[in-house]
């Protein structure tokens, strides 16, 4: 099940005014709390799409408070066990989010407006390569990743597990799937 969250709508609801600029750390904290409250009613293991399409300005402090802390808390915060994907980013948004994630050694998947995906933040190179194979094939097992990347099977499994740990791929039995795959 995929939950889509319109950041502009959450922002306006959180601050009680129709705003479209995600700025300031205190605003970010309100937005994150609102999202966490919404996700606490959702089952664990669901993918959550954070939609930035209607957000105009995003500053570093707010990006850290909303995105990085949501990703950081995916194992412990209310709504834990969620997988986060970002959609509708402008180039400037992507840059800010990439930096705040790197600062905390985190990563997530961003879906581009043309439908392609890319990773933001910090992911081990082998895990990033494994993620790309999974995305390109729609889903993959360790053997396919090993063949495509010319890795030993154990190395491929390790790379896939690192991608799962980074929160950019899901594991379904012995297969690995993109976060927003049905």
Pick one of 39, 48, 87, 96: the residue that binds other proteins (CB under 8 A).
96
Among 3, 42, 46, 56, binds other proteins (CB under 8 A): 56
| Residue 59 touching other proteins (CB under 8 A) | yes
104 token code pair: 């905390």
Residue 19 binds other proteins, judged by CB under 8 A: yes
3-class DSSP assignment, residue 148 = helix
User: Is residue 76 part of the contact set for other proteins (CB under 8 A)?
Assistant: no
Footprint (CB under 8 A) of other proteins, residues 133-172: none
Q: How far is the CB of 104 from other proteins (least distance, A)?
A: 6
Determine contact, residues 160/153, Cβ cutoff 8 Å.
no
Give how far Cα 140 sits from Cα of 28, 43, 90, 147, 178, Å. 36, 25, 30, 11, 9
92 binds other proteins (CB under 8 A): yes
User: Which span sits near other proteins by CB under 8 A: 35-43, 95-103, 122-130, 161-169?
Assistant: 95-103
Positions in the binding site for other proteins (CB under 8 A): 15, 17, 19, 21, 23-27, 56-61, 64-65, 68-69, 90-93, 95-96, 99-100, 103-104
């Amino acid at each position: 099940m995929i939950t889509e969250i319109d950041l502009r709508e959450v922002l306006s609801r959180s601050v009680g005014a129709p705003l479209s600029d995600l700025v300031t750390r205190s605003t970010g904290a309100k937005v994150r709390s609102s999202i966490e409250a919404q996700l606490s009613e959702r089952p664990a293991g669901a993918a959550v799409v954070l939609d930035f399409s209607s957000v105009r300005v995003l500053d570093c402090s707010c990006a850290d408070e909303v995105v990085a802390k949501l990703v950081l808390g995916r194992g412990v915060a209310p709504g834990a066990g969620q997988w986060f994907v970002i959609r509708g980013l402008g180039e400037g948004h992507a840059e800010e989010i990439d930096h705040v994630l790197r600062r905390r050694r985190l990563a997530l998947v961003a879906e581009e407006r043309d439908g392609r995906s890319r990773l933001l933040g910090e992911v081990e190179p082998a895990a990033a390569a494994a993620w790309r194979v999974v995305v390109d094939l729609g889903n993959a097992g360790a053997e396919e990743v090993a063949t495509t990347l010319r890795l030993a099977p154990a190395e491929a499994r390790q790379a896939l597990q690192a991608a799962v740990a980074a929160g950019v791929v899901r594991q379904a039995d012995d297969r690995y799937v993109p976060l927003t795959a049905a």
